[in-house]
Amino acid sequence: LLSDRGHLGRPIPMATFLANVIFHGQEMWFWNATNVFLHLCTGVLVFLLACRLIGHTQNDKTVACGWAALLVAGIWLLHPLQVSTVLYTVQRMAQIPALFIFAGLFAYVAGRQRQIAQATGGWLLIGLAFLVLFPLALFSKENGVLFPVFALLIEVFVLRFRGGVKIRRSLTVLYVLVLLLPAITGIAYLAINHETLVMPGYESREFTLSERVMTQFRVLLFYLYLLILPVQKNMGFYHDDFPVSHGFLDPPGTLFAALIVAGMIIGAILAGKKYALPAFGVLFFFVAHSLEASVFSLELFFEHRNYLPAFGIILGFVVLLGAMFRDRRMIVAAGSGILVVLPALTAMRADTWGSFDKFYNHAYRSHPESKRVNIIFDNHFADAVQYDKALQLMQNFDDVGFTLNRLFVMCRRDWQIPAQEVIEAQGGLQGVVGNHALNSLILLANAGLDDQCAFNRQSFIGLVDAVLERPVSSRNKSVILMYKAHFLHREQQLEAALAALREAYRFESATPVTLLLGTEWLLDSGDIDRARSWYSEALEVIATSKHDFSEYTQGIEARLGDSGP
């Protein structure tokens, strides 16, 4: 509940994790079972929403909307691409907002259909959608903000603002208030503050903002490919080896992908009157990807991002299938075939997720150039005391993460690192300092601080300085500076250590940890006046923090009390 994930903290998914802790502890079977239960609940809502949409637009009654909606929900539930969302526990953060979005859209459609039929209760259901389910989606994950756009798409392509002049005016006011004005405000705010809201995230990425936007055209087409041909060899949890587009002609497929995406969007808009649900489905897919495929410095590719967007493509596919085969028996036969193949493919993927060896061997076969997969295998070999094999694997990569991990493996093998190795590593650092590089640095630093590995501290401080010269995010920079401060303190360079803490605090001023640590070091040195000054500053930060630092403050206050006025 105190998570700082996302801009709103995502308290609803975090509350479900808290419930798992309270009722099931570390029994992970129940954590996964919770995800499967949420998936099934969302599947019911997918069925109900699809049935409403298909029933509203279907003029040919030879195809019952229930059968078609059942096929939509069945494909969505059983598609192999959903495995990495449902079985990766933390992606409950993708599941729960989808559940509330589908629930909100169902309530909205039901309310509007009541208005069109001139029945009572329409505005009550619409109010439930916008005043209850929309905020629940938003506080589950940031892409919940797209709910009004989805509702508007349904209105434009399916419901078409029917219900009389008064209803149309009221709906116009509604969308001005919940969509147009917030969108204008949000876009303007983002444009004005993009240097602080968008650009800092690219400090630790191996791509620029423009490269990310261009690459997303190819990523979106690959998502569509995986939805249409869900072959396991093309899937995988790790996609950090996806090639970056450095220009529209580098690779040339970037321009081709951009033209296809633009053509699909324009085609859907133009065909909306005749092919309402297929057009809606295409636009739903692209709108659902619009935040995570835009300017924000997220990683390029994750399968779980298709959990919500897949609905649009599947809905459009089933409706087109119904248009091709007018005979209901043909639809049932085609649907049955699909619902036999998909569970088989999904069972294969779930089996792959069932053990460490299967999971990572498949990950390596599918993505042999993935840095993350290779680092995991490095550490796996090191855990198995196959140090030479781990070091040999790392020779294929030369970025900062592998350089630091190589030193850590040497540390585990020899219990020491020659000073020359550390010095040589300083001059060979390449690439950005991502989370895996940071993790390797932390493991290496902790081994030195805990006397589990002997190496020259001054050389290591030089290595840390070299790491800080690489592209690194502000948060990671703060962590690295904290470790530099610890090593300087061990070398009895108090003023240099305090300066490193000050710099770390500058990059992460929302936490008082650096100030509290500096207070303790000043107390150890007998500098009571400066310790009080640092502690007073720490208390100001604690006053605005939602975390509990009483364990630290009680000890410091006891020491300050013992030191006299």
- pLDDT exceeds cutoff 90 at 498: yes
CA 501 – CA 215 distance, rounded (Å): 38
Residues 6 or more apart whose CB falls under 8 angstroms from that of 332 comprise 67
Q: Which of 294, 301, 182, 290 is nearest to 234 (CA)?
A: 301
Number of H helices, E strands in the chain: 28, 0
Span 546-554, average pLDDT: 87
Orientation angle between helical segments 328-352 and 65-78, nearest 10 degrees: 10
Confidence (pLDDT) at 56: 87
Side-chain-facing half-sphere of 71: CA atoms under 13 Å: 26
- pLDDT exceeds cutoff 70 at 6: no
Confidence (pLDDT) at 323: 80
186-236 residue pLDDT tens: 999 999 998 888 888 888 888 999 999 999 999 999 999 999 999 888 898
* Strand ranges (E), 62-125: none
Span 529-556, average pLDDT: 91
Orientation angle between helical segments 28-57 and 65-78, nearest 10 degrees: 150
Confidence (pLDDT) at 195: 87
Confidence (pLDDT) at 62: 39
Span 447-476, average pLDDT: 91
Rg (CA), the chain: 28
User: Given CA atoms 355, 356, 362, 366 in this order, what sign does their dihedral have?
Assistant: positive
User: Given CA atoms 209, 214, 218, 220 in this order, what sign does their dihedral have?
Assistant: positive
Phi, psi of 342 (to 5 degrees): -60, -45
Confidence of residue 59 (pLDDT cuts 50, 70, 90): low
Confidence of residue 179 (pLDDT cuts 50, 70, 90): very high
- pLDDT exceeds cutoff 70 at 5: no
Confidence of residue 181 (pLDDT cuts 50, 70, 90): very high
Confidence (pLDDT) at 101: 98
Confidence (pLDDT) at 105: 98
Residue whose pair of structure tokens reads 């390596």 in the numeric block:
364
Residue whose pair of structure tokens reads 């924000």 in the numeric block:
296
- pLDDT exceeds cutoff 90 at 60: no
What's the pTM?
A: 0.90
CA 162 – CA 25 distance, rounded (Å): 51
CA 108 – CA 98 distance, rounded (Å): 15
Span 21-31, average pLDDT: 93
Q: Are residues 232 and 345 in contact, defined by beta-carbon separation less than 8 angstroms?
A: yes
Span 57-67, average pLDDT: 62
| Mean pLDDT over the full length of the chain | 91
- pLDDT exceeds cutoff 90 at 376: no
Q: Is 388 exposed, middle or buried (0-12, 13-18, 19+ CB in 10 A)?
A: exposed
130-147 residue pLDDT tens: 999 999 999 999 999 999
Span 460-466, average pLDDT: 93
Amino acid identity for residue 312 in this structure: G
Confidence of residue 255 (pLDDT cuts 50, 70, 90): very high
Q: Which of 390, 487, 381, 397 is nearest to 434 (CA)?
A: 397
Token output for 504:
């770390």
CA 513 – CA 552 distance, rounded (Å): 9
Q: Are residues 151 and 114 in contact, defined by beta-carbon separation less than 8 angstroms?
A: no
Number of other residues whose CB lies within 10 A of the CB of residue 67: 17
Q: Are residues 268 and 285 in contact, defined by beta-carbon separation less than 8 angstroms?
A: no
- pLDDT exceeds cutoff 60 at 467: yes
- pLDDT exceeds cutoff 50 at 35: yes
